[in-house]
Amino acid sequence: MRRVPTPRRRKGFSLIRLLAGGICNTDLELQRGYYGFAGRPGHEFAGEVVESDTQSLVGKRVVGEINLQCNRCLWCRRGLGRHCPSRTVLGIVGHPGAFAEFLTLPDANLHTVPARVSTEHAVFTEPIAAACEILDQVRIPRNSPVAVLGDGKLGLLIAQVLIKITGAQVCLFGRHPEKLKIAAAAGATTAIATSKLPQAEFDFVVDATGSPEGLRAATSMTRPRGTVIMKSTVHGKVGIDMAPVIVNELTLVGSRCGRFEPALKLLQSGKLQLDAMLSDEFALADAPQAFARAAEKGVLKVLLRA
């Protein structure tokens, strides 16, 4: 940690004082050199607006969408600025991240946090939005058999979101009994992922393992005509046998960031089990220790406090 000068606020941007940030696996991967981003990390945060051209935002507790769009291209005009080819991404691509005393984001990216949502829970808005993105892409009927692979932070949020919003019959496959308990408390059935996974049993399978094996397992667990939702950004080439995917007419859906509105609505409902997912917290000045802690096996969300 070094003291950095308060960033210059561009027109249309707010200056935000960090309240708390969350360390995501992507941050750990950035540290390992993926994405070629050497700047300041941090894209999960809650903060307070200290300066803005939008006066109604000043003093408000906010969270912020992480994609900074150009507002001019086809994608931005279609309302899909998250896919703007010239976008920068907070703490990931070309825009300094949230793990600092101050950050800037366009006013249009900001959402005020409802009063009843705590700052610690607000930090989960971004990954909850990523979980909710599935619902914008795929219609999952009530009581559908859904498998979620991976009991990491994202897998646990996806399992909870699918249970609360779709009423699907979610089974979470993971390797950590203590993490599976969190999903069980939220209404999922759970199973330890072994080498013998069920074959062709689920209409929907979400891969949130973060590993190439996850996608291979997901395709074999999906019923003919079923859907695999790919939530693991795996680096490098994945060797996958596409013949059964074609013969069984599976649909594979890549899924990434989501809108913040449904995430904030879910947070406000208080229906998600988030306290059990908070493993530890550190002062911003102790960010290196926080990153080391977040990288430990079995650890879930680690917060950074300003």
For binding to a copy of itself (CB under 8 A), which residues are involved?
75, 80, 83, 85, 137, 200, 215, 224-225, 230-243, 245-256
Give the whole-angstrom CA distance, residue 298 versus residue 279.
Answer: 9
Q: How far is the CB of 198 from a copy of itself (least distance, A)?
A: 14
| Start-to-end CA span in the chain (Å) | 12
Q: Are strands 202-207 and 222-230 parallel, antiparallel or unpaired?
A: parallel
Q: How far is the CB of 83 from a copy of itself (least distance, A)?
A: 4
Return the number of the residue (248 or 268) whose C-beta is nearest a copy of itself. 248
Q: Which DSSP symbol is given to 214?
A: H
Return the number of the residue (177 or 254) whose C-beta is nearest a copy of itself. 254
Give the whole-angstrom CA distance, residue 285 versus residue 71.
Answer: 35
Q: How far is the CB of 196 from a copy of itself (least distance, A)?
A: 18
- In a 3-state reduction of DSSP, which class is residue 225? strand
Q: Would you tell me how many other CB atoms lie within 10 Å of the CB of residue 164?
A: 15
Q: How far is the CB of 144 from a copy of itself (least distance, A)?
A: 14
Dihedral angle, C-alpha 88, 299, 161, 216, nearest 10 ° = 80
> Side chain identity at 294, as an amino acid letter?
A
Return the number of the residue (63 or 208) whose C-beta is nearest a copy of itself. 208
Which of 179, 245, 234, 167 has its CA nearest to residue 207?
234
Q: How far is the CB of 252 from a copy of itself (least distance, A)?
A: 4
Give the whole-angstrom CA distance, residue 56 versus residue 46.
Answer: 17
Q: How far is the CB of 119 from a copy of itself (least distance, A)?
A: 29
Q: How far is the CB of 36 from a copy of itself (least distance, A)?
A: 13
Contact status, residue 43 vs residue 30, Cβ threshold 8 Å = no
Residue indicated by tokens 């009423």: 167
Return the number of the residue (41 or 47) whose C-beta is nearest a copy of itself. 41
Return the number of the residue (4 or 200) whose C-beta is nearest a copy of itself. 200
Helix (H) or strand (E) holding 15: strand 13-23
Return the number of the residue (160 or 219) whose C-beta is nearest a copy of itself. 219
Return the number of the residue (120 or 133) whose C-beta is nearest a copy of itself. 133
